[in-house]
Each structure stands twice: as C-alpha cells, then as structure tokens.
Structure 1
Amino acid sequence: MSLKECLGKVTIVDFWASWCGPCRRENPNVVAIYKELHAKGLNIVGVSLDKDAKAWKEAIAKDKLTWNHVSNLKFWDEPIAAQYKVQSIPATFILDASGNIVAKDLRGDELRAKIIALLAK
C-alpha cells in the first residue's frame, strides 16, 4: 500500500501502537472524527510501532479502527516513523490532498476543528 493511494482531501497519518496507553485513549476521538468526516473526504492511515502482529490486529478490532493500517512490526525501527522523524507516540500528521504536512500532533477537538477547516477549502 502506498500513501498516495490513500490520500483524500485530507489525510491523517496516525502513528500509534497497541501497547501505547495515550494512543489507545485517543482512538475513540479519532474514530468519531473518521465516522463524521470520511464521507466528506477524510482518510486516515494508521502506522503501528508494534512488534507483535496479534496484539496489533486485536487492538485494531477492539478499538474499531476501520481505516487502512500498516506496520513492519519493527517497533521503534519502523521505517515510516523514521521517515516522519517520529520520536514519541501518539504522533499525528495532517496532510492536504497533495500530501503536504499542514499540521501535526493535534488531538480531540483541535484535531476535529482543523480537519473541518481543511475540508471546507
């Protein structure tokens, strides 16, 4: 899967892991934003820093993360995380339709407001 295939009007690249408490606590907010705004052009790509495929897939199912997910199961050696210079998780990057980073590390209401503003353009 390539990121270009997943781009919408707005795309969130969400770095997380099944073992990351703050990531899992933020997931319900992201699920709600996705349900509300996916039909208007929002896409999400989840990039996991897991190393256990079973735990990763169970977390996706339990948290009802219905968007595309990728992982090389390399923990902090995840090449995509290195490309984005991710030092801690959760880490979110908001991309415009061209794939340019327009915001990062927003959560909850701030994330929702930014997505709505970008979709309105």
Structure 2
Amino acid sequence: MKTFCTILFFSLFSGSATAQNTIEIGKKAPEIIMNRADGTSFSLSALKGKLVLIDFWATWCAPCVEEQPLLKTMYESYSEQVKNNQFEILGVSLDKNKESWQKAIDRFGINWIQISDLKFWKSPVAKLYEVDELPFNVIIDREGIILAKNLHGKQLEDFIREKLK
C-alpha cells in the first residue's frame, strides 16, 4: 500500500504527469505570457472572447516563412472581425535572436500580435503546448477551449471561415 501511495503521489504532483496531453481538442488552452518585440508583456487570456489562432513559428523555419503570406491574407480578410473583437492571430515565435525576429515581422508586414521568450526549443510554452515541429498552430474558441490544432492551407482557411460565420 505504501508503494502504491508513493506512486500515486508522484503521479499526481510530478510535472511530467501533469504536462502530458494538455493540448487536446475540448480542453482549455494553457495560459501563455510572453513579451512582445517592444518588451511589453502580453497574455493569451487578454484575448478571451475572441476566436484565436495561436501560430507557433520561427524565422529560421522555411515552412513557417512560407505560411506568413497566407496568414497575412487571412488576417486582412477578417479585418472587420478583428476590429469587432471576434478574431485574432497570436504569433508565438520560437526564435532566439530578437533582431532576426523583428526583421521578419517588418519584412512580412505582420500586424497581428507577436510574442516570444527567445528561448528557441527550450521555451516552456513550446513544451507546454507540445510543439515538436513547426509550423504548429492551435485554434481556441472565445472561452479558451481548444477547437483544432495543426491546420494549414485551405483546411485552416475553411475552418476559420466556418467558425466566424
């Protein structure tokens, strides 16, 4: 019995047990708090009430860079929903060089929220969101519940369009 209790205690209170399978459709998305490029803090919870596309990307990731024009077009297409606090994109960069990150934001004309802790793959948020490849995304509803993950291209566009009807 003592062994069982010890195993139960470590299972309940060890980080490895609680960190597993946190990013499942239907579960609440974990909070993200990171800095914007200008150094100000931003939290995912500030977007409550909006459909949010959380886009994990990096400037050194070729598929991520290729996806930025699609995201820009989507963001501009839904500018009315953005203005009416119905939709937002939150870019979470896994870069480690602030200068490269800022240059990419400027080069692609990214005008949605961008945040990073500049810790590359060692970012606690990347681990929390179980990011093991880029680009990776999570779509959450107005209450912060995960609706979908890792949609790209037409599948992503169709999903966002359907949710914003």
Q: TM-score range by the shorter chain?
A: over 0.9
Match for 2:59 among 12, 18, 43? Answer: 18
Could you tell me whether the CA contact under 8 Å between 1:11 and 1:43 is conserved in 2?
Answer: yes
Cα distance between partner residues in 2 of 1:44 and 1:118:
14
- Residue 85 in 1 paired to residue 130 in 2? yes
Match of 1:97 in 2: 142
Match of 1:106 in 2: 151
Cα distance between partner residues in 2 of 1:59 and 1:4:
25
- Residue 66 in 1 paired to residue 90 in 2? no
> Cα distance, 1:28 vs. partner?
0.4
Question: What letter matches 1:78 in structure 2?
Answer: S
> Cα distance, 1:9 vs. partner?
2.8
Q: Deviations over 1:69-105 (max 9, x none)?
A: 1111100011211111100110011111111110111
Structure 2 stretches lacking a partner, 5+ long: 1-41
Match of 1:42 in 2: 87
Structure 1 stretches lacking a partner, 5+ long: none
Partner secondary structure for residue 73 of structure 1: coil
Match for 1:31 among 69, 72, 94? Answer: 72
Cα distance between partner residues in 1 of 2:118 and 2:157:
29
Cα distance between partner residues in 2 of 1:34 and 1:58:
20
- The alignment-based identity, stated in percent, is 39
Structure 1 runs (4+) greater than 3 angstroms displaced = none
Partner secondary structure for residue 92 of structure 1: strand
Q: TM-score, normalised by structure 2?
A: 0.70
Choose 77-86 or 24-33, whichever is displaced more: 77-86
Find the structure with the greater CA-based Rg. Answer: 2
Could you tell me whether the CA contact under 8 Å between 1:11 and 1:95 is conserved in 2?
Answer: yes
Cα distance between partner residues in 1 of 2:112 and 2:70:
14
Cα distance between partner residues in 2 of 1:71 and 1:7:
20
Q: TM-score, normalised by structure 1?
A: 0.94
Aligned residues: 120
Could you tell me whether the CA contact under 8 Å between 1:8 and 1:43 is conserved in 2?
Answer: no
